[in-house]
A and B are shown apart, each in its own frame.
Chain A
Amino acid sequence: MLIKNNSHKLLSGRFRGRAVAYLLAVLLLVLMSYYLPRLLPGDFVTAMYSGSPVTLTGEQEAELRAHYAAGDSLGHYLVNLFFLDWGFSFAFLTPVSSLILAALPWTLFLVGGAHLLSTLLGFIAGVEAAWRRGAVEKGLVAVMTFLEGIPEMGTGVLLLLLFSLYLGWFPAAGGETAYAGYSLPRWCLDVLHHTALPFITLVGAYLPGSFLLARGGMVVVLHSPFIKTARAKGLPPLRVRYGHAARNALLPVVTRFGLRFAFMLTGALVVESIYSYPGLGTLLFKAISLRDLPTIRAIVLFSSLLVLVINMALEVLYERLDPRVQHEL
């Protein structure tokens, strides 16, 4: 009973410790999201009016600068955040939360989908390759290592030139045909049509890493005594492969999945830009080039909070996947 009570106290103490650490991290992120974008050289007025047919006088410029500086203090920012107000975009003249909500589904669909599929395919292919070892496996490793070295930008531009410019099979830009007035099924097809090239680009970028990690992990695990035992017991190969071996090779793949997932909101900036895809990456790129501080702040904070949440989720998932992790904590 005494042992049970102590264990309970230990657990709740550990939980409190974690909660405090995460809370501090949130506070730090909020402060950094306010101060870091301010360090960017240039400001909204200069960025907005450079290259404009409007030539500002010194007074007009000072007036505009004062206008945008008003209400942009840290105090305002914190109070607004407390009331879940993410700010008002200088450039888009819209609450930033509505901008994020409009862009988020596109990013989740493209990057989340590509990420999920590439991890799944990469993992299965990695497990199968390690199990079957031979010429095909070696060939696959060589191909995947080569693909891992090609940047998304290279694949993106190549696919665009080949399938859009020369063959004309896929559209060059956007997430859908704007204002086409399609029925729902036709709209779904249209979205898939627009998403195909950026999706393939991302899958091509993410899959090799998952494959190599899974294969590497499996090769080590397959030599373990417990696998030999499982085989000796006459368990079906599929169960040995996935129920025993792959489960133990899963941890690095999950880590990679989690980290990539956390950065996916802004990580696909290059691909989104190439294909003019209406996601968060494009939104952030635009906000940075215009020095739209409220929008930059909100996206930075949103993404970093997501990193934190994913980190928390990974900790829980690790404990479930590998009980050793729980003891080491």
Chain B
Amino acid sequence: MKYCFRISAFITIAALIMLAGIPAQGASGQRELRIADGTGDWGYPNPFGHYPRGPGYIRMSWVFDTLVWKDQKGYIPALADSWKYDPAAMTFTFHLNPRAKWHDGKQVTAEDVVFTIGYYRKHPYRFIKTTGIGAVSAKGARTVLIKLAKPYAPFLSDIGGTMPILPKHVWESVADPEKYLDPKAFIGSGPYQFRDFDKTGGSYLYEAFPDYYQGPPQVERLIYVRSGKPLISLTTGEADLANIQPEMGESLVKKGVKVISDERGWVKKLLINHHKKPLSDKRFRQALAYLIDQKEIVEQGHRGFATLASYGLLSIDHDMYNPGTPTYLYDLQKASRLIEALGFKRGKDGFFQKDGKKLKLALLSSNIAAGGESVADRDGEIIKRQLEKGGIAVELVNMEQATTDGRIKKWDFELAISGHGGISGDPVILNEMISSVYGGGSVTSARYDDNAALNKLLEKSLVEMDQVKRKEIVYQIQKIYAQELPAIPLYYPQTKAAYNPRKGVDWFYTKGGIAKGIPLPQNKLSLIKR
């Protein structure tokens, strides 16, 4: 028996040593790139199969192209070589690239674009809203005219740069697009052809489309892999690109990995149930803003890897950011005066009270973070401590994301920590994150309609096609938002990614985020020679 043990131990150790010597990455002869993320599965990479999240859209974007696209500076041609807007006719004209082909070799035509809009009207694709589009027509094989029902300022962001164009010859016979998963459902005009999706493994395989109209992509095979620890996968060579925690940046640079940072396009904010008293009074919300010390949250909760947010919601990196937006520097006295003006008095225990009842609020906290990831933080604890120091008792409730969101949706909360991206993209985000008309179905929107002037400005900003005039309106919206504070912006976390520079690909973050504002560095332009 003793010998059996020794032999087993020897075999086990020998096997482990042997296994340890196996390289972790693939052995394919082709040039390939591996991207890691913590979730893995983001749905099938076509407009009706991907999850309505940023990483889902990105996986689809390798296969399907849009009319225009964005790089580090702004809009650039994609399927459309050129475009112009005629204000008098309220019409966008797009001229398609004559070299653009579908993955099955057929030509991309103006008819495909006309068909796509019609198809999305019948079978909505949630990333775009077709309601503002009027008549759409083809003029010859390469020109598309899109008439707007009324002026719509975010057209390029919401439709031109986000709407994946579908091949008419494939989809015209498809009645139930969500259940259509035939190989033809993945025929696009993008730089990569979809080859496989392993649902349980959370991995995707794409292969370069050699006839891509902007030239064949630099890398033959593009692979997505799931990794709960993308940072480790980067260091072991299992992945070539992954999002990282900002504090890990320095150590990775020492290992020869390149680290890139995004603009401030994602905001963590405090949602407020403004239907409930005393939260329905803007003076009380302002008092909360004075009590919450953004700087302390950033320094203690995030070791400085974040920036204080503007109280006007829009990113401070945005071209339309209003530097004159009201601010609420930490001020205990101002907060006390505002709360006392509402009839509250300090009790012996230091907490405010009214009619013999202690002022107490419940705060929902979860781990929401940029890019669809979930990262634990101490924001809830810090805010609780700050509010209690200011005389408001807080019951901190930590829950998983879906439970928190479910309660927010039903207005079953008082305060909740939440967050969203898009604040460095088109200012339409203000409409969506403020008004219930645009964000009534969202759990990150404040759904606040109490200020008529604000509502009017939001409407006006959507139809103002002149960017200078629109900027003026957006300035005013930020100012009023900061006064009303339907939700309190807290900070912009640093968003970083790291990649292996030896693969010869320079990844970058897109200005305003990819398409509608996705804060990920996986822009397909990185793999296209320009």
In the assembled complex, the CB of A136 is this many whole angstroms from the nearest CB of chain B, namely 11
Instruction: A93 to B443: give the CA distance in the assembly, Å.
Output: 24
Residues of B within 8 A of A51 (CB): 53, 368, 372, 401, 419-420, 444
A135 interface contact, C-beta 8 A: no
A56 interface contact, C-beta 8 A: yes
Q: Which of B93-101, B137-145, B433-441, B467-475 interfaces with chain A?
A: B433-441
> Is the Cβ of B179 less than 8 Å from the Cβ of A172?
no
Known A58-B440, A177-B25, A179-B205: A91·B51 in contact at CB below 8 Å? yes
> Is the Cβ of B201 less than 8 Å from the Cβ of A178?
yes
> Is the Cβ of B19 less than 8 Å from the Cβ of A41?
no
Instruction: A180 to B436: give the CA distance in the assembly, Å.
Output: 48
> Is the Cβ of A93 less than 8 Å from the Cβ of B406?
no
> Is the Cβ of A181 less than 8 Å from the Cβ of B27?
yes
B202 interface contact, C-beta 8 A: yes
B432 interface contact, C-beta 8 A: yes
> Is the Cβ of B236 less than 8 Å from the Cβ of A56?
no
> Is the Cβ of B36 less than 8 Å from the Cβ of A173?
yes
Residues 43-60 of A, flagged 1 when their CB comes within 8 A of B and 0 if not, give 101111111111111111
Q: Which of A71-79, A250-258, A285-293 interfaces with chain B?
A: A285-293
Instruction: A47 to B366: give the CA distance in the assembly, Å.
Output: 13
Residues 88-114 of A, flagged 1 when their CB comes within 8 A of B and 0 if not, give 000111100001001100100000000
Residues of A within 8 A of B178 (CB): 93
B24 interface contact, C-beta 8 A: yes
> Is the Cβ of B54 less than 8 Å from the Cβ of A52?
yes
Residues 155-182 of B, flagged 1 when their CB comes within 8 A of A and 0 if not, give 0000000000000000000000011010
Residues of B within 8 A of A189 (CB): 19, 22
Known A56-B126, A179-B203: A173·B229 in contact at CB below 8 Å? yes
Q: How many residues of A contact B (CB 8 A)?
A: 72
B149 interface contact, C-beta 8 A: no
> Is the Cβ of A49 less than 8 Å from the Cβ of B199?
no
B49 interface contact, C-beta 8 A: yes
Residues of A within 8 A of B229 (CB): 160, 164-165, 172-173, 276
A126 interface contact, C-beta 8 A: no
B452 interface contact, C-beta 8 A: no
Residue among B51, B179, B223 with max Cβ neighbours from chain A (10 Å): B51
A190 interface contact, C-beta 8 A: yes
In the assembled complex, the CB of B318 is this many whole angstroms from the nearest CB of chain A, namely 16
A193 interface contact, C-beta 8 A: yes
B300 interface contact, C-beta 8 A: no
B226 interface contact, C-beta 8 A: yes
B57 interface contact, C-beta 8 A: yes
- Residue of B at shortest CB range from A49? B52
A137 interface contact, C-beta 8 A: no
Residues 164-206 of A, flagged 1 when their CB comes within 8 A of B and 0 if not, give 1101111111111111111000100110110010000000000
Known A173-B226, A173-B233, A275-B228: A53·B54 in contact at CB below 8 Å? yes
B183 interface contact, C-beta 8 A: no
- Residue of B at shortest CB range from A279? B200
B225 interface contact, C-beta 8 A: yes
Residues 420-448 of B, flagged 1 when their CB comes within 8 A of A and 0 if not, give 11100000010011001111111111000
Known A177-B26, A290-B402: A99·B205 in contact at CB below 8 Å? no
Instruction: A51 to B16: give the CA distance in the assembly, Å.
Output: 41
Q: Which of B40-48, B62-70, B278-286, B333-341 interfaces with chain A?
A: B40-48
Instruction: A192 to B226: give the CA distance in the assembly, Å.
Output: 18
B376 interface contact, C-beta 8 A: no
B516 interface contact, C-beta 8 A: yes
Residues of B within 8 A of A180 (CB): 25-28
> Is the Cβ of A52 less than 8 Å from the Cβ of B236?
no
Instruction: Return the contact of B439 from the options A57, A171, A190, A290 (Cβ within 8 A).
Output: A57
Instruction: Return the contact of B225 from the options A46, A56, A165, A178 (Cβ within 8 A).
Output: A178
- Residue of B at shortest CB range from A200? B16
Residues of B within 8 A of A276 (CB): 38, 40, 202, 226-229
Instruction: A174 to B41: give the CA distance in the assembly, Å.
Output: 13
In the assembled complex, the CB of A66 is this many whole angstroms from the nearest CB of chain B, namely 12
Residues of A within 8 A of B421 (CB): 53
Instruction: Return the contact of A170 from the options B20, B200, B226 (Cβ within 8 A).
Output: B20
Residues of A within 8 A of B429 (CB): 55
> Is the Cβ of B402 less than 8 Å from the Cβ of A46?
yes
Residues of B within 8 A of A167 (CB): 20
Residues 140-181 of A, flagged 1 when their CB comes within 8 A of B and 0 if not, give 000000000000000000001001110111111111111111
Residues 8-22 of B, flagged 1 when their CB comes within 8 A of A and 0 if not, give 000000011001111
Instruction: Return the contact of B422 from the options A53, A102, A168, A286 (Cβ within 8 A).
Output: A53
In the assembled complex, the CB of A118 is this many whole angstroms from the nearest CB of chain B, namely 13
Residues of A within 8 A of B517 (CB): 53
Instruction: A279 to B196: give the CA distance in the assembly, Å.
Output: 19
B1 interface contact, C-beta 8 A: yes
A274 interface contact, C-beta 8 A: yes
Instruction: A47 to B51: give the CA distance in the assembly, Å.
Output: 11
Known A172-B232, A172-B236, A173-B238: A53·B444 in contact at CB below 8 Å? no
Instruction: Return the contact of A91 from the options B40, B43, B406, B444 (Cβ within 8 A).
Output: B43
> Is the Cβ of A42 less than 8 Å from the Cβ of B402?
yes
Instruction: A152 to B476: give the CA distance in the assembly, Å.
Output: 55
B293 interface contact, C-beta 8 A: no
A36 interface contact, C-beta 8 A: no
B261 interface contact, C-beta 8 A: no
Residues of B within 8 A of A278 (CB): 198, 200-202, 226
- Residue of A at shortest CB range from B178? A93
In the assembled complex, the CB of B424 is this many whole angstroms from the nearest CB of chain A, namely 12
Residues 241-281 of B, flagged 1 when their CB comes within 8 A of A and 0 if not, give 00000000000000000000000000000000000000000
A282 interface contact, C-beta 8 A: yes
Instruction: Return the contact of A52 from the options B34, B52, B419 (Cβ within 8 A).
Output: B52
A315 interface contact, C-beta 8 A: no
> Is the Cβ of A178 less than 8 Å from the Cβ of B26?
yes
Instruction: Return the contact of B402 from the options A60, A173, A291 (Cβ within 8 A).
Output: A291
Residues of A within 8 A of B52 (CB): 48-49, 52, 54
B240 interface contact, C-beta 8 A: no
In the assembled complex, the CB of A30 is this many whole angstroms from the nearest CB of chain B, namely 25
In the assembled complex, the CB of B80 is this many whole angstroms from the nearest CB of chain A, namely 22
- Residue of B at shortest CB range from A103? B200
Residues of A within 8 A of B15 (CB): 192
Instruction: A192 to B215: give the CA distance in the assembly, Å.
Output: 40
> Is the Cβ of A171 less than 8 Å from the Cβ of B24?
yes
User: For window 489-530 of chain B, which residues contact chain A by CB distance below 8 Å?
Assistant: 513, 515-518
Known A48-B52, A178-B205, A178-B225: A53·B199 in contact at CB below 8 Å? no
Residues of A within 8 A of B444 (CB): 50-51, 55
In the assembled complex, the CB of A296 is this many whole angstroms from the nearest CB of chain B, namely 12
Instruction: A204 to B402: give the CA distance in the assembly, Å.
Output: 33
B121 interface contact, C-beta 8 A: no
Residues of B within 8 A of A192 (CB): 15, 19
Residues 198-215 of B, flagged 1 when their CB comes within 8 A of A and 0 if not, give 111111010000000000
12 A-B pairs besides A53-B518, A179-B28 with CB distance below 8 A are: A40-B403, A50-B443, A56-B441, A56-B442, A58-B436, A58-B440, A59-B440, A106-B200, A171-B236, A173-B232, A196-B20, A290-B402
List, sorted by A's number, 11 A–B pairs whose CB atoms are closer than 8 Å.
A50-B402, A52-B52, A53-B517, A56-B439, A160-B229, A165-B235, A167-B20, A173-B229, A173-B238, A181-B26, A190-B22
Q: Using CB atoms and an 8 Å cutoff, list the residues of chain A in contact with chain B.
A: 40-43, 45-62, 64, 91-94, 99, 102-103, 106, 128, 160, 163-165, 167-182, 186, 189-190, 192-193, 196, 238, 273-276, 278-279, 282-283, 286, 288-291
